[in-house]
Structure 1
Amino acid sequence: MYAIFERQEDFPKAHMYQIRIAFKLKEDKFRFMALSDTIQRVMPRSEDRVKGHSKPLDFKEAVLLTNPSNPKLKGEVDDKYQYSTENKDNKLNGWISDHDSVGFWIMTPSNEFRTGGPHKQDLTSHVGPTALSMFVSTHYTGTEIDTFYKEGEAWKKVFGPLSEEIESWPYNFTRSEDFPHSQQRGQVNGQLLVQDRYMDKQLMQAKSAFVGLAPPGEADSWQKEGKGYQFWTQTDKIGRFNIKNVRPGVYNLYAWVHGFIGSYKLDLNITIQPGNKIELGTLIYDPPRNGPTLWEIGIPDRTAAEFFIPEPYPQYVNSITNDGAD
């Protein structure tokens, strides 16, 4: 399954801040939701969220379950935003049925059509039972994600495909000429090193760095980009990267490195043509610095994993969030 959105040159201006597919499943069949190996649970029913069965909290999406159909859920919070995941982790989510030993899954083998890069969060599944595939969204970013279209602005984009075997990507079953098959795509290889003389006089290997191709722009423009395609990978232990299955087009290469502030951008437009392999060689990131580090709070890695997160008030708990590793 996939979708092709297109705007002609004579279209009026528009703001498409949310594009998604929502699947509404039978509530008597699907009660167990799974987002990952560790984030999964028996879910409330939609009737459990209405007056008499729940108490509304500070915003309409969050309720405290006071009289749910499943007594084990009494006293828990249900809030669809608590089931959000980052783009890089959102490859599989869905529902499992107790009755027929079947499941309904949203499988997304490539994030190339998603907006905002690998760390942008978005919705997945929630009470309904509802399974979502988010194409474009301003969740957690606001309207700074570029989803505005000017009068006369032509645009076309393929969202998906979804719900096929992940390991067989890129798919060749699509019939549209707007979706390039595997032999019509290219790849970019290279190695990223870091030069920071205050930490080491030698060049350092940028291991586990995020490296990606996105539409041309400034160093961090991919975080607000919502109309084109993005392709991301992580480097190995010596900083080597291989960005595979890239659609033909013109891109800039962007990166950031765990433990170093700032962002890297290669000042070169990279043109991908069908079947080509581009070797960029060694790239060197020189992070911004005015002198030696005096003190530091946290790790510059675009996460808050190292910070202490207090336990929630006992009366406002969602058991799916109790695993600190997540």
Structure 2
Amino acid sequence: MSDLKLSVNDGRVRMSNANIQLVLNAEGKADSLIFHGQELLENLKGEKADPDAQHTFYCDYHVKGKTVNIKPNKLVVIEDSTDRIHVAYIDDVSQLGVAYHFILPAKDDAIYSYVKAWNNTQSMIKVDEFRTVYRLNHDLFYLGKNHERIGYQPTSAHMISGSRIQDETYELDDGSLYSNSKIYSKYDYAGYFKENDFWGQFGHEYGFWFIPANRSYYDGGPLNQDLLLHYDGLILNYMASSHLGKDQFKIPVGWSKVYGPWCLYLNEGKNKIKDAQIRAKKEQANWPYQWVNETGYFNEAVTIKGKIKINQQLPKDQLQLVLSQACSNNDFLKVQDGYSFDAVTNKQGDFVLEKVRPGNYVVYVYSIGGKIVGTYKLADKQVTGESIQDWGTLNWRIKETKTIWQIGESTHTTAGFKFSDQLRNYIWQDSVPANYDFEIGAADNDWYYLQNDHGVWKITFSGQFSEKSSKDYELILAFAGETQKDMQDKKGITVRVAVNDREAQVKSFVNDKAAYRSALRSGSYGLMKVKIARDSLKPNSENTIRISTNGYLLYDTLLLTEAD
């Protein structure tokens, strides 16, 4: 006999099994969640200005700086069987159409959910954020956990009692209880989707875990990062946003997409984290879910194998491969309307992409080590419904030039530089020196992950050149991120480079909104290439390069090479 029960009354849904009872109101928000007899949604806390301060399990999006909740005009019972209950709250009257699904299996400690969204107009829709939010009783759920860290989370009332620095970032007398300094920010518990098999909030008795099962629906590639959890017992699922290197989501006419399903897993006992890890692995193994019957969802999983060579030779370093939709400037991080898949090659250049959705893709590649900078389009590929595809050898053609010197390695991140391995916090952006002198030959880890606007950084080098050389030179600055100083400013960021005290180039970048949001490893990747005439450098004496900015620069690598 099934343990499932369902009642529907005037838009209100009550679904239960032997372990869980979930009550949803006509807006598609949860009024009650009982797990093993304990109500988890009492005494919800939120900021006074937040219209959803007392709400949970809601789906919303931001347009022109304003929050828009979905407005369901239909409630559909999709399945009421001995295996599962499946209902959907559908808003097909708003500009952004949304179907918000809830699935409760029999005899389980989990709820599944997914969202199908579509452009319900004949024009482009511009969305700043699109998410689902789970607010829990902070008295029961006061510890946050993601891949990077575990820590106590304050209430918003306690947070705002401190000294405000910026957007939900405060200095607190007891701030070190919640983060790794006296400054607590909601961005301290952001993380990379690729690294997070699950995240959530827990306490002494209970745990509530968000398990994405498969991260391809977040799109954006391996460096897509976003808010995952923070104060007030909140767990966040950002399906799209303009945070941390991404752009406003410009939704084209005719677009639709299925996000998820994800698993909301509840547990109790002493080993809640370990238990959640086990459950996350189980969900990943079961993807794609065969019980989903939804137009736009793929039940087929394709494995793709192949090899990458560089100029017909085995690569010297591992390579990052990304399958994405076509994008401008090869910047797949900013793509949010499709699905992406990625893999890292081994030392022989072999790669395996698993559980790929059939469709048309662009293959992008970049180096995660060594001297090759930039992101490159490698090929256009169609993935069919075959279970295994062999792409053979893909040849990456590059121009090879002589490197005079290099600081760091090309990874698209700040990896290897000072402070890049620390936990996210607002303090690091002002912990670097204002003025800094670096002499070529010093250790790479003497270089800092970030340069701010407080001064000038100088690189000194000598004795590297041949007077007989007829070639000019090129200074390449590869940035892992470029962030303007003021969050409210709209001017972007400017970088100035001088060679031997003569200004060589000035370049502006769009604000990636990363560094001031506690990002330490990456924001939006960017390149600055400075041509240097041969006679501008002195072959047998000291040369200097000076770099300054009016914002924040996250460094990937710096190279001086012979020009093509």
**What TM-score, normalized to structure 2?**
0.48
Q: Distance in 2 between matches of 1:244 and 1:306?
A: 29
How do 1:88-107 residues align onto structure 2 when only pairs under 5 Å count?
88-98=194-204, 100=205, 102-107=206-211
Q: CA deviation at 1:190?
A: 0.5
- Residue 509 (structure 2) aligns with: none
Judged with a 3 Å threshold, the aligned counterparts in structure 2 of structure 1 residues 189 and 73 are, in CA distance, closer, same or farther, namely closer
Deviations 1:156-196 (A, max 9, x none): 10111111623322222212132111xx232321101223x
Please show how residues 50-199 of structure 1 align to structure 2 within 5 Å. Answer: 50-51=160-161, 54-57=162-165, 59-66=166-173, 72=177, 76-98=182-204, 100=205, 102-143=206-247, 147-150=249-252, 153-163=253-263, 165-181=283-299, 184-195=300-311
In structure 2, distance between residues paired with 1:233 and 1:176: 27
Query: Aligned residue pairs: how many?
Result: 295
- Whether the 8 Å CA contact 1:65–1:73 is kept in 2: the answer is no
Counterpart of 2:116 in structure 1 is 4
Name 1:18's counterpart in structure 2.
Answer: 129
Residue 186 of structure 2 contacts residue 227 of structure 2 at CA under 8 Å; is this kept in 1? yes
1:219-244 CA-partner distances (Å, limit 9, x unpaired): 61423212111111111232211112
For residues 12-71 of structure 1, the C-alpha deviation after alignment (integer angstroms, 9 at most, x for no partner) is 4321221111100101101111112x51112222221133xx1111x1311111368xx9
The 1:86–1:73 alpha-carbon spacing in structure 2 relative to 1, beyond 3 Å, is closer
In the other structure, the counterpart of 1:198 is none
Residues 241-282 of structure 1 deviation map (CA, whole Å, 9 limit, x = unaligned): 111222221111111122221223223x32222235321111
Give me the whole-angstrom Cα distance separating, in 1, the residues matched to 2:301 and 2:316: 26
Residues 43/205 of structure 1: CA separation in 2 closer, same or farther (3 Å cut): same
> Where in structure 1 are there 5+ consecutive unaligned residues?
196-201, 318-323
Partner of residue 411, structure 2: 301
Shift of 1:72: 5.0
Could you say which residue in structure 1 is the equivalent of 2:498? Answer: none
Q: Distance in 1 between matches of 2:117 and 2:339?
A: 13
SS of 2:187's partner is: helix
User: CA 1:219–1:281 in structure 2 vs 1: closer, same or farther (change >3 Å)?
Assistant: farther
1:47 aligns with 2:163: no
**Alpha-carbon distance between aligned partners in 1 of 2:229 and 2:222, rounded to the nearest angstrom:** 19
Match of 2:334 in 1: 224
For 1:262-319, what per-residue CA distance to the aligned partner results, in whole angstroms no more than 9, with x for missing partners? 223223x322222353211112223344x2100112211111121113999x9969xx
**SS of 1:82 mapped into structure 2:** helix
Counterpart contact for 2:325–2:361, Cα < 8 Å: yes
**Structure 1 residues 161 and 73: alpha-carbon distance in aligned structure 2, compared to 1, 3 A threshold:** closer
SS of equivalent residue, structure 1 residue 2 = strand
CA distance in 1, matches of 2:238, 2:318: 27
For the pair shown, which has the larger CA radius of gyration, 1 or 2? 2
The letter for the 2-side match of 1:35 is N
C-alpha separation in 1, matches of 2:291 and 2:138? 32
Q: Structure 1 residue runs of 4+, over 6 Å off?
A: none
Report how far residue 81 of structure 1 moved.
Answer: 1.2
Distance 1:155 1:304 in 2: 35
AA aligned to 1:27 is H
Q: Tell me the distance in 2 between the aligned counterparts of 1:279 and 1:125.
A: 39
Contact 1:64 1:316 in 2 (8 A): no
Listed as ranges, the matches of 1:274-289 within 5 Å are 274-289=385-400
Over the matched positions of the two proteins, sequence identity in percent amounts to 23
Could you tell me whether the CA contact under 8 Å between 1:210 and 1:257 is conserved in 2?
yes
Structure 1 pair 295–178 and aligned structure 2 pair: CA distance change class (3 A): same
- Structure 1 residue 206: deviation in Å? 5.8
Decide which structure has greater strand share: 2
For residues 134 and 163 of structure 2, the distance between their equivalents in structure 1, rounded to whole angstroms, comes to 26
- 2:353 is paired with a residue whose SS is strand
CA RMSD of aligned residues (A): 2.9
Task: Flag the 1:27–1:257 CA change in 2: closer, same or farther, 3 A.
Answer: same
Question: Is the 8 Å Cα contact of residues 219 and 265 (structure 1) preserved in structure 2?
Answer: no
Query: Which amino acid is 1:90 matched to?
Result: N
Determine the structure 2 residue equivalent to 1:261.
373
Evaluate the alpha carbon distance shift between residue 263 and residue 123 of structure 1 in structure 2; reply closer, same or farther with a 3 A threshold: same
**Is the 8 Å Cα contact of residues 306 and 394 (structure 2) preserved in structure 1?**
yes
Distance 1:229 1:315 in 2: 31
Q: Confirm or deny: 8 A CA contact 2:223 2:333 kept in the other structure.
A: no
Give the counterpart letter for 1:60 in structure 2. D
The equivalent residue for 2:313 is 203
Task: Report if aligned partners of 1:206, 1:235 keep a CA contact under 8 Å in 2.
Answer: no
How far the C-alpha of 1:121 sits from its partner, in A, is: 1.8
**TM-score relative to the length of structure 1:** 0.81
Partner secondary structure for residue 157 of structure 2? helix
The answer (yes or no) to whether the contact 1:85–1:124 under 8 Å persists in 2 is yes
Conservation of the 8 A alpha-carbon contact between 1:261 and 1:288: no
The alpha-carbon distance between structure 1 residues 244 and 42, as it changes in their structure 2 partners (threshold 3 A), is: same
SS of 1:119 mapped into structure 2: coil
Judge which range, 238-247 or 161-170, deviates more: 161-170
Structure number with the bigger relative contact order (C-alpha 8 A, sep ≥ 6) is 1
The answer as to whether partners of 1:192 and 1:206 remain within 8 angstroms in 2 is no
Q: Secondary structure at the match of 2:235?
A: strand
